[in-house]
Amino acid sequence: MSSFISSQNIVYPSNELSPTMILLEEWSLIYVEGFDSKTYLQSQLTIDMNLLPKTHHTLCAHCNFNGKVLSVMHLFHYRKGYGYIQRKSTSKVQIKEIRKYSIFSKIKIYELNDICLIGFTGLNVRSFLLSFFIKIPDKNCPVIHENNKTILWYAEPSERFLLVLSFSDFLNLKRQINKNIFLNNNQQWLLLDIEAGFPIIDKICSQRFTPQAINLDKLKAISFEKGCYYGQETIARIFFKKINKYFLSSFTSTGKISPEIGSFIETQINDKWCKIGVLLSVVYVKSKEIYIQAVLRKPVDVNNFFRICGFKNIFFIRN
């Protein structure tokens, strides 16, 4: 009999997590299939498709013509083509944009609505999953396909797994679970992504930043050697001329606030509060702490005080 423990929606830092299952309802899986799927994605995404092994997944982005990020995604080989996982709020616009020139290629691109995305993390989570699967991915083989199930391995901020399952397989897995495990919601996975340094791009911040502004170059999610792709001219110019003016950062504070994504971040300069960046995401941790992710403008003194425009809470950049 399943033995789930309610987390009461309390989010914990990665180093304090017991075995936890997370329903990733704010993410979606997009499937790309067809003879031209690889060459078409090569002309659209920021990474070199030729360098993606079947046993790996990679962070990358889809940009508009001006080099602004439509969506950040984790891409991997899936079924007879490719799958990528991204924030659900961006999917409608992103799919519309990536389909624009697909009429000239043998390719189909669509969201899979019959799939469950489930995260597993916490202490001894590998041993927990080995009770249900023959093999679990690791550093050398971060993607495993087993009986129409796919498991992705993430190293940061601590070992965690993302399962791609059919609804029936998910229900079957739930019925098999006979050990205590916490059940949590999207906010827990969101915090893990923030801790890992993965940029969170939701609809309101889509098409607002270049890949370098959200650290995708540092995360090896951009190829500067492959041929042309959407937004490549702008992205390459920023890289070769070293003119990126922004960077991704995260902050912590305490208190209760309800800011809107896309709000301005301010810093104190000569006793005045000046706009210095944009809020990407906010998560409340253990009902006391606040973690936020933001894009900041260079140069900025990381020892300064920061706040979200309209709120008095003081934030500090995390080391």
Q: Which residue ranges are tagged as binding site for folate?
A: 27, 189
DSSP state of 18: P
Nearest alpha carbon to residue 210 among 184, 172, 237, 228: 237
Structure tokens at 262: 């896309």
Amino acid at site 105: S
Q: Which two tokens stand for residue 300?
A: 């900025």
> Taking a C-beta distance cutoff of 8 angstroms, is the pair 247, 210 a contact?
no
Residue 258 DSSP code: -
253 sits in which H/E element: strand 246-254
Question: 94-99, long-range: CB within 8 Å, 24+ apart, which pairs?
Answer: 94/30, 94/62, 94/70, 94/206, 95/30, 97/62, 97/64, 97/70, 98/44, 98/62
